[in-house]
Structure 1
Amino acid sequence: MTSSIKQTKRARKPSKRAMVSRAGSVTNWGGYVFVYGDRRNNQSVRQSLLSLDIRGEFTSPVRGVSAFALRVTPESEPGLGNVEIPCVGVWIAAKPEFDGGVHLSDREFDLLLAMATAGKLLSVYLHFQEPHYGKALIASVSFSSDPPDEG
């Protein structure tokens, strides 16, 4: 009986997907605020969701796609995902543009918002898995007031 249990339980294999690094120019950004009321444990609770939506173009395409839309959301204590690789975000679609999101701490989000409102948010650098069926985990992201490297 023990051998049949071992055969049905499979260990998750580590990802063998290639990693991709891309720089991108920020071409546009906008904000999003969603507020709603909820009832939990017989108490009314006010909830909100904020995001900074950043749009741009990679300096070199990934599978023929250069455009990206990245939603950046603040969290008081963002976690580190560990599905296949440790990750800070995810691409949920790769066509017609890369569409995804990342979570930043409140402090990181405030600095990013200040850069954007001052017109200093010029580039984003991402390290992520090669997309598979349009989905990929984002291992790292950085934002800069310098233009992206073309190489």
Structure 2
Amino acid sequence: MYAPAAHEPGIEFMRNQLSFAYGAVGLAAVVSGAFPALADSRMWVAVEDLRRFTCPSTQCGIVGRFFFRETLPVLETSNGWSRVSRQKAAGCFDGKSLYVESGPSDCTAENGIKQGKFSEWVRSKFLVEDRPSEPMEGPKKDHLGES
């Protein structure tokens, strides 16, 4: 089986073309907004108790909470929700996530768990840019994720 040497002119040309193509695709994706913004922005939790969900819906599992004045990286926003973590292992066993504290714990895409991983999501309206002096007023059950 023939394997070309790394120094052959054709191989070097192909490497340069691939490098250029990947760079152009990456630049086009960034310019078009195809990739979510990286966590340059941090937001403050403005309520006493903010639930973390496995997907951007109150119908998904709750995997914990954040507290007043914690700062979170906002990696992505979608329809009133903010993704505040990268993907992490869901600890799936017998089709259920061991990390879900309440709500649905199914290791399914509908619950935000894909290939055994999930990201944490919170309601965007309970995050603020500046350090809050007092907790935000509002219906408590809303930021707990019950409505």
The normalised TM-score by structure 1 is 0.29
Higher-Rg structure is 2
